[in-house]
Copies of this chain bind each other. A is one copy, B any other.
Amino acid sequence: MAVHEGGAAALFRPVRTRNAFEETVGRLLQAIRLGVAAPGEKLPSERDLAARLGVSRVTLRDAIRALVDAGYVESRRGRYGGTFVAVTLPSPPPRPAPGDDLEDVLTLRRVLESGAAEAAAARTLTPAERRHLTAALLDVSDVDTDEAEYRRRDSRLHLAIAEVAASASLTTAVADIRTRVNELLDAIPLLAVNIEHSDAQHRSIVDAILAGNPVAARQAMDEHLDGTSALLRGFLCG
Protein backbone atom coordinates (compact mmCIF):
# COMPACT_ATOMS: atom_id res chain seq x y z
CA MET A 1 0.00 0.00 0.00
CA ALA A 2 1.56 3.27 -1.10
CA VAL A 3 0.74 6.82 -0.15
CA HIS A 4 -2.52 8.33 -1.26
CA GLU A 5 -1.81 10.04 -4.58
CA GLY A 6 -4.06 13.06 -4.30
CA GLY A 7 -2.54 14.93 -1.43
CA ALA A 8 0.96 13.64 -2.08
CA ALA A 9 1.55 16.12 -4.86
CA ALA A 10 0.79 18.97 -2.51
CA LEU A 11 3.15 17.71 0.17
CA PHE A 12 5.95 16.06 -1.74
CA ARG A 13 6.56 19.20 -3.75
CA PRO A 14 10.07 20.70 -3.91
CA VAL A 15 11.33 22.01 -0.61
CA ARG A 16 13.37 24.68 -2.37
CA THR A 17 12.51 25.93 -5.78
CA ARG A 18 15.39 28.37 -6.04
CA ASN A 19 18.69 28.85 -4.26
CA ALA A 20 19.32 31.60 -1.73
CA PHE A 21 20.69 33.99 -4.31
CA GLU A 22 17.72 33.64 -6.64
CA GLU A 23 15.24 33.87 -3.81
CA THR A 24 16.88 37.03 -2.60
CA VAL A 25 16.79 38.64 -6.03
CA GLY A 26 13.15 37.64 -6.30
CA ARG A 27 12.27 39.14 -2.94
CA LEU A 28 13.88 42.47 -3.72
CA LEU A 29 12.28 42.57 -7.15
CA GLN A 30 8.95 41.80 -5.50
CA ALA A 31 9.35 44.75 -3.16
CA ILE A 32 10.17 47.03 -6.08
CA ARG A 33 7.44 45.74 -8.37
CA LEU A 34 4.75 45.91 -5.68
CA GLY A 35 5.80 49.46 -4.92
CA VAL A 36 6.74 48.75 -1.32
CA ALA A 37 10.09 50.23 -2.30
CA ALA A 38 9.15 53.11 -4.61
CA PRO A 39 11.44 54.66 -7.24
CA GLY A 40 14.10 56.85 -5.63
CA GLU A 41 13.62 55.35 -2.18
CA LYS A 42 16.49 53.98 -0.14
CA LEU A 43 16.53 50.33 0.81
CA PRO A 44 17.69 49.32 4.30
CA SER A 45 21.45 48.94 4.67
CA GLU A 46 23.05 45.73 3.48
CA ARG A 47 23.71 44.53 7.00
CA ASP A 48 20.13 45.26 8.04
CA LEU A 49 18.56 43.74 4.93
CA ALA A 50 20.72 40.63 5.11
CA ALA A 51 19.59 40.10 8.68
CA ARG A 52 15.93 40.61 7.83
CA LEU A 53 16.10 38.27 4.87
CA GLY A 54 17.99 35.70 6.90
CA VAL A 55 20.72 35.55 4.31
CA SER A 56 24.46 36.22 4.47
CA ARG A 57 25.74 39.59 3.40
CA VAL A 58 27.67 37.97 0.59
CA THR A 59 24.53 36.50 -0.89
CA LEU A 60 22.59 39.72 -0.45
CA ARG A 61 25.39 41.68 -2.12
CA ASP A 62 25.41 39.28 -5.04
CA ALA A 63 21.68 39.81 -5.41
CA ILE A 64 21.99 43.58 -5.23
CA ARG A 65 24.81 43.43 -7.74
CA ALA A 66 22.50 41.59 -10.13
CA LEU A 67 19.81 44.22 -9.66
CA VAL A 68 22.33 47.01 -10.22
CA ASP A 69 23.40 45.36 -13.46
CA ALA A 70 19.77 45.04 -14.50
CA GLY A 71 19.16 48.70 -13.74
CA TYR A 72 16.68 48.30 -10.88
CA VAL A 73 18.77 49.84 -8.12
CA GLU A 74 21.87 51.98 -7.64
CA SER A 75 24.43 51.81 -4.84
CA ARG A 76 26.25 54.77 -3.33
CA ARG A 77 29.13 54.42 -0.90
CA GLY A 78 30.02 56.48 2.13
CA ARG A 79 28.01 57.80 4.99
CA TYR A 80 24.42 58.56 3.96
CA GLY A 81 25.06 56.23 1.06
CA GLY A 82 23.07 53.07 0.52
CA THR A 83 21.12 51.21 -2.12
CA PHE A 84 18.44 53.19 -3.91
CA VAL A 85 15.61 52.09 -6.14
CA ALA A 86 16.21 53.50 -9.64
CA VAL A 87 14.09 56.53 -10.51
CA THR A 88 13.18 55.08 -13.87
CA LEU A 89 12.69 51.34 -13.66
CA PRO A 90 13.53 49.00 -16.54
CA SER A 91 10.50 47.48 -18.20
CA PRO A 92 10.06 43.86 -17.19
CA PRO A 93 11.30 41.27 -19.68
CA PRO A 94 8.60 39.76 -21.92
CA ARG A 95 7.01 36.80 -20.20
CA PRO A 96 6.64 33.39 -21.81
CA ALA A 97 3.23 31.76 -22.12
CA PRO A 98 1.42 31.82 -18.77
CA GLY A 99 0.14 28.31 -19.41
CA ASP A 100 -1.96 26.19 -17.10
CA ASP A 101 -1.49 28.16 -13.98
CA LEU A 102 -3.68 31.07 -15.06
CA GLU A 103 -6.68 29.49 -13.39
CA ASP A 104 -4.53 28.41 -10.47
CA VAL A 105 -3.45 31.99 -9.85
CA LEU A 106 -6.91 33.45 -10.32
CA THR A 107 -8.53 30.93 -8.01
CA LEU A 108 -6.05 31.50 -5.25
CA ARG A 109 -6.17 35.25 -5.65
CA ARG A 110 -9.93 35.30 -5.30
CA VAL A 111 -9.76 33.21 -2.17
CA LEU A 112 -7.02 35.28 -0.57
CA GLU A 113 -7.98 38.80 -1.52
CA SER A 114 -11.72 38.50 -1.00
CA GLY A 115 -11.00 36.70 2.22
CA ALA A 116 -8.67 39.47 3.29
CA ALA A 117 -11.28 42.11 2.54
CA GLU A 118 -13.88 40.24 4.56
CA ALA A 119 -11.48 39.67 7.45
CA ALA A 120 -10.46 43.31 7.44
CA ALA A 121 -14.07 44.45 7.56
CA ALA A 122 -14.78 42.04 10.41
CA ARG A 123 -12.24 43.74 12.65
CA THR A 124 -12.48 46.97 14.56
CA LEU A 125 -9.76 49.05 12.96
CA THR A 126 -7.52 51.38 14.90
CA PRO A 127 -7.40 55.02 13.78
CA ALA A 128 -3.90 54.44 12.38
CA GLU A 129 -5.14 51.54 10.30
CA ARG A 130 -8.05 53.57 8.98
CA ARG A 131 -5.66 56.33 7.95
CA HIS A 132 -3.28 53.86 6.35
CA LEU A 133 -6.09 52.40 4.26
CA THR A 134 -7.51 55.77 3.26
CA ALA A 135 -4.09 57.07 2.31
CA ALA A 136 -3.44 54.07 0.09
CA LEU A 137 -6.83 54.56 -1.56
CA LEU A 138 -6.17 58.22 -2.32
CA ASP A 139 -2.76 57.33 -3.72
CA VAL A 140 -4.24 55.05 -6.34
CA SER A 141 -6.87 57.48 -7.56
CA ASP A 142 -4.20 60.14 -7.86
CA VAL A 143 -2.12 58.87 -10.78
CA ASP A 144 -1.90 60.57 -14.13
CA THR A 145 -1.41 58.13 -16.96
CA ASP A 146 1.70 56.32 -15.71
CA GLU A 147 0.71 52.72 -16.09
CA ALA A 148 3.60 51.23 -14.11
CA GLU A 149 3.09 53.66 -11.25
CA TYR A 150 -0.61 52.90 -11.23
CA ARG A 151 0.05 49.22 -10.90
CA ARG A 152 2.44 49.76 -8.00
CA ARG A 153 -0.03 51.90 -6.08
CA ASP A 154 -2.78 49.44 -6.85
CA SER A 155 -0.67 46.68 -5.35
CA ARG A 156 0.03 48.79 -2.32
CA LEU A 157 -3.65 49.37 -1.71
CA HIS A 158 -4.38 45.67 -1.95
CA LEU A 159 -1.48 44.97 0.37
CA ALA A 160 -2.79 47.58 2.80
CA ILE A 161 -6.14 45.79 2.86
CA ALA A 162 -4.42 42.54 3.71
CA GLU A 163 -2.38 44.27 6.38
CA VAL A 164 -5.41 45.58 8.23
CA ALA A 165 -6.80 42.06 8.28
CA ALA A 166 -4.11 41.66 10.95
CA SER A 167 -2.76 38.28 9.97
CA ALA A 168 0.91 38.40 9.03
CA SER A 169 0.70 35.11 7.17
CA LEU A 170 -2.25 36.38 5.17
CA THR A 171 -0.37 39.54 4.23
CA THR A 172 2.56 37.47 3.05
CA ALA A 173 0.30 35.24 1.00
CA VAL A 174 -1.40 38.21 -0.61
CA ALA A 175 1.95 39.76 -1.50
CA ASP A 176 3.02 36.52 -3.16
CA ILE A 177 -0.13 36.07 -5.16
CA ARG A 178 -0.06 39.68 -6.31
CA THR A 179 3.45 39.20 -7.61
CA ARG A 180 2.21 36.30 -9.68
CA VAL A 181 -0.80 38.25 -10.91
CA ASN A 182 1.35 41.25 -11.80
CA GLU A 183 3.58 39.05 -13.91
CA LEU A 184 0.53 38.10 -15.93
CA LEU A 185 -0.72 41.67 -16.10
CA ASP A 186 2.62 42.75 -17.54
CA ALA A 187 1.69 40.84 -20.66
CA ILE A 188 -1.47 42.81 -21.39
CA PRO A 189 -2.28 46.49 -21.96
CA LEU A 190 -3.96 48.57 -19.29
CA LEU A 191 -6.89 50.60 -20.49
CA ALA A 192 -8.13 53.91 -19.14
CA VAL A 193 -11.62 52.45 -18.86
CA ASN A 194 -10.36 49.72 -16.57
CA ILE A 195 -8.67 52.26 -14.35
CA GLU A 196 -11.88 54.23 -13.91
CA HIS A 197 -13.80 51.10 -13.05
CA SER A 198 -11.10 50.06 -10.66
CA ASP A 199 -11.08 53.39 -8.89
CA ALA A 200 -14.79 53.18 -8.19
CA GLN A 201 -14.48 49.60 -7.04
CA HIS A 202 -11.56 50.40 -4.80
CA ARG A 203 -13.65 53.03 -3.12
CA SER A 204 -16.51 50.58 -2.52
CA ILE A 205 -14.16 48.05 -1.03
CA VAL A 206 -12.50 50.47 1.34
CA ASP A 207 -15.86 52.00 2.28
CA ALA A 208 -17.22 48.58 3.19
CA ILE A 209 -14.16 47.78 5.26
CA LEU A 210 -14.26 51.08 7.10
CA ALA A 211 -17.98 50.63 7.67
CA GLY A 212 -17.30 47.20 9.16
CA ASN A 213 -19.44 45.36 6.65
CA PRO A 214 -17.75 42.03 5.83
CA VAL A 215 -20.35 40.81 3.37
CA ALA A 216 -20.25 44.00 1.34
CA ALA A 217 -16.45 44.07 1.47
CA ARG A 218 -16.20 40.57 0.08
CA GLN A 219 -18.76 41.24 -2.59
CA ALA A 220 -17.05 44.44 -3.69
CA MET A 221 -13.69 42.72 -3.85
CA ASP A 222 -15.18 39.80 -5.77
CA GLU A 223 -16.56 42.18 -8.36
CA HIS A 224 -13.26 43.99 -8.59
CA LEU A 225 -11.29 40.82 -9.11
CA ASP A 226 -13.77 39.46 -11.63
CA GLY A 227 -12.92 42.43 -13.81
CA THR A 228 -9.23 41.75 -14.11
CA SER A 229 -9.83 38.00 -14.22
CA ALA A 230 -11.99 38.43 -17.29
CA LEU A 231 -9.40 40.74 -18.80
CA LEU A 232 -6.64 38.22 -18.25
CA ARG A 233 -8.63 35.27 -19.51
CA GLY A 234 -9.55 37.24 -22.60
CA PHE A 235 -6.03 38.28 -23.46
CA LEU A 236 -4.17 35.16 -22.45
CA CYS A 237 -6.53 32.30 -23.08
CA GLY A 238 -8.77 33.37 -25.93
Contact = CB atoms under 8 A, between A and B. Distances in A.
B108 A111 contact: no
Interface stretch (A13-21, A143-151, A185-193, A198-206): A13-21
Contacts of A36: 3-4, 6-8, 10-11
Q: Report whether over half of chain A's contact residues are helix, strand or loop; otherwise say mixed.
A: helix
Number of chain copies forming the complex: 2
A165 to B, nearest CB: 6
A17 B105 CA distance: 25
A32 to B, nearest CB: 10
Contact of A53 (B12, B115, B119, B172): B12
Interface residues of A, number: 67
Given A110-B115, A119-B111, A12 B166 contact: no
A190 to B, nearest CB: 22
Contact of A31 (B11, B30, B103): B11
Given A54-B16, A104-B167, A7 B34 contact: yes
A111 B107 contact: no
Given A6-B159, A15-B23, A16-B20, A103 B52 contact: no
Interface string A138-180: 0000000000000000001001101101111111110101000
A223 interface: no
Interface in A15-68: 15-17, 20, 23-24, 27, 30-31, 34, 36-38, 40-44, 49, 52-55
Closest 9 CB pairs of A and B: A111-B115, A14-B54, A107-B167, A7-B36, A12-B52, A10-B171, A3-B37, A11-B31, A15-B23
Interface of A: 1-4, 6-17, 20, 23-24, 27, 30-31, 34, 36-38, 40-44, 49, 52-55, 101, 103-105, 107-108, 110-112, 114-116, 118-119, 132, 156, 159-160, 162-163, 165-173, 175, 177
